[in-house]
């Protein structure tokens, strides 16, 4: 368990779910969306990266990448979204699923880090960004539970695709750097072991020649 990401993820989750923030999120859609972005793009990924590494098959990564956007988009359907705003227990379940899905995705994405996982990251993020863009461009209110002008919904959508998109770009750059560093170390280790293996082969050949 990596303590740094674990501690950071827990701090972000606690701040995002603090009672004052949670209460405000029930009345202000922008705050609610910022809460979601914090859980999905900060807390969940940090907690997922904190887990002990495992070597997972590629289909596991694909499955995790499919589950994350499905969970996020489903909870933004009006019937579930409004239920979560009105009922605290449902709101809690929503947040648990967000963090769990993001944790699973990032655990799979970094077990191990592969170059193609950067493409997987963007593919998983695209439906969520499209959802936020749709919310921003909509000329009608999606959620009757908020008694706010339409512009508040549009700003909330901008938070979803803007902040979420920026977090995705930062994550992609970080993944690329980690993958490149790992590939460089692997190549360096391979080159370092090559002379040693060659030397052992030559010694064995000389020994056999002497014995003969």
Residues whose CB is less than 8 angstroms from the CB of residue 152 and which lie 6 or more positions away in sequence, other chains included? 28, 29, 30, 146
Question: Would you list the domain boundaries of the chain?
Answer: 3-211
Integer Cα distance of 71 and 208 in angstroms: 65
The pair of structure tokens assigned to 16 is 């995002």
Task: Taking the CA atoms of 62, 105, 37 and 80 in sequence, report the sign of the dihedral they define.
Answer: positive
Q: Count H helices and E strands in the chain, helices first.
A: 10, 0
Q: Decide if 83 contacts 90 (C-beta within 8 A).
A: yes
Q: Decide if 132 contacts 155 (C-beta within 8 A).
A: no
Q: Decide if 113 contacts 182 (C-beta within 8 A).
A: yes
Query: What does the DSSP 8-state code read for residue 65?
Result: H
Integer Cα distance of 62 and 70 in angstroms: 13
pLDDT in tens, the chain (212 residues): 788 889 999 999 999 999 898 888 888 899 999 999 999 999 999 999 898 877 777 778 888 889 999 999 999 999 999 998 888 899 999 999 999 999 999 988 888 778 888 888 889 989 999 999 999 999 999 998 888 889 999 999 999 988 888 888 888 888 888 888 877 776 676 777 765 544 554 454 455 455 55
């Amino acid at each position: 368990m990596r303590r740094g990401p674990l501690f950071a993820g827990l701090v972000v989750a606690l701040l995002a779910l603090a009672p004052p923030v949670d209460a405000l999120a029930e009345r202000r859609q922008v705050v609610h969306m910022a809460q979601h972005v914090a859980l999905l793009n900060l807390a969940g990924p940090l907690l997922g990266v904190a887990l002990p590494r495992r070597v997972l098959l590629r289909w596991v990564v694909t499955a995790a990448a499919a589950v994350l956007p499905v969970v996020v988009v489903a909870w933004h359907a009006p019937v579930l979204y409004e239920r979560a705003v009105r009922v605290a227990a449902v709101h809690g379940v929503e947040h648990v699923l967000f963090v769990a899905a993001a944790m699973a995705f990032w655990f799979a994405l970094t077990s191990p880090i592969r170059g193609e996982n950067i493409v997987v990251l963007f593919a998983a993020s695209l439906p969520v960004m499209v959802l936020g863009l749709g919310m921003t461009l909509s000329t009608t209110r999606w959620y009757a539970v908020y008694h706010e002008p339409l512009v508040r919904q549009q700003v909330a959508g901008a938070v979803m695709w803007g902040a979420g998109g920026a977090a995705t770009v930062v994550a992609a750059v970080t993944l690329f750097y980690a993958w490149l560093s790992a590939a460089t170390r692997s190549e360096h280790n391979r080159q370092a072991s090559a002379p040693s293996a060659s030397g052992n082969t030559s010694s064995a050949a000389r020994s056999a020649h002497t014995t003969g």
